[in-house]
Amino acid sequence: RRAAPKAAKRRAAPKAAKRRKAPTAGTRRTAGAPVVKIRKAYAKAIALYEKGLKALQRKHYPGAATAFRQVLEQFPEERELHERARLYLNVCERETKPLAKTPKSVDERILAATLALNRRDVDEVLSLLRHTASSHRQYDHIQYMLALAHALRDDVETAAEYLAQAIALNPSNRLQAKQEPDFDSIRGTQPFLDAIKTP
């Protein structure tokens, strides 16, 4: 009698699909990634903003303006910096804006000299006002600005001379001179004290 055929070997059950390998620490997505990205962007925006401030303090207005514009254009999400960046950008643009024409009238020269004095450009102040002062001696503001310009040069005698003229034309300049920080370098000198002395 023929032996019964052996039962066919059972087909091995397919191996369970391998589990996906858990990502390692180097490849795992971290929940904090967006936060890190935001912080990096903020740090870059701050660095650019501070670069603009340093240039502004050195009175390098074109470079400062470029940095502040980049803050506004490259980092639109950093709104807290935008208000200050726009403010300083306006300052830079105002300082670098050329005059529409060479100042000719007395008022135009006084305005241009005032802007130059704010920039501590003493040579420009003197260039604008020296001849005007001799032909318009009644303008106490011109005499006062010339006094400031010479004080910034530590030219005590000339500064005191112009200051005395400004006070003679307008006595209120005496009090203003006492409080004027730009006279600090000559404040303790005798010519200055004589100029502000009450008669």
> 41 φ, ψ to 5°?
-65, -40
The residue with greater pLDDT, 3 or 124, is 124
Spatial neighbors of 120 by CB under 8 A, at least 6 apart, are 59, 152
Taking 50 as the threshold, does the pLDDT of residue 27 lie above it? Answer: no
Token reading at 187: 């404040």
| First vs last C-alpha separation in the chain | 150
In the block, residue with structure tokens 């390998």: 21
Question: Whole-angstrom Cα distance, residue 61 to residue 22?
Answer: 55
DSSP per-residue string spanning 21-80: PPP-TTTPPPTTHHHHHHHHHHHHHHHHHHHHHHHHHTT-HHHHHHHHHHHHHH-TT-HH
In the block, residue with structure tokens 């004080």: 151
| 13-26: average pLDDT | 46
In the block, residue with structure tokens 């060479």: 102
Domain 106-196 has CATH 3.20.20.410: no
Question: Whole-angstrom Cα distance, residue 20 to residue 35?
Answer: 28
pLDDT band at 24 (very low <50, low <70, confident <90, very high): very low
Q: Do 62 and 96 form a contact (C-beta atoms < 8 A)? A: yes
Q: pLDDT tens digit string along 79-119?
A: 888 988 998 998 888 888 765 566 778 888 888 888 899 89
pLDDT reported for residue 98: 64
| pTM greater than 0.85 (yes/no) | no
Three-class SS state of 7: coil
Q: What percent of the chain has pLDDT over 90?
A: 46
Average pLDDT of the chain? 82
Token reading at 118: 């704010």
pLDDT reported for residue 17: 47
pLDDT band at 132 (very low <50, low <70, confident <90, very high): confident
pLDDT band at 33 (very low <50, low <70, confident <90, very high): low
Taking 80 as the threshold, does the pLDDT of residue 128 lie above it? Answer: yes
What is the torsional sign of CA 113, 116, 122, 124?
Answer: negative
- Tell me which of 3-7, 24-28, 123-127, 140-144 is least confident: 24-28
| 182-195: average pLDDT | 95
Q: How far is CA 94 from CA 62, 88, 97, 161, in A?
A: 11, 10, 5, 33
Taking 70 as the threshold, does the pLDDT of residue 76 lie above it? Answer: yes
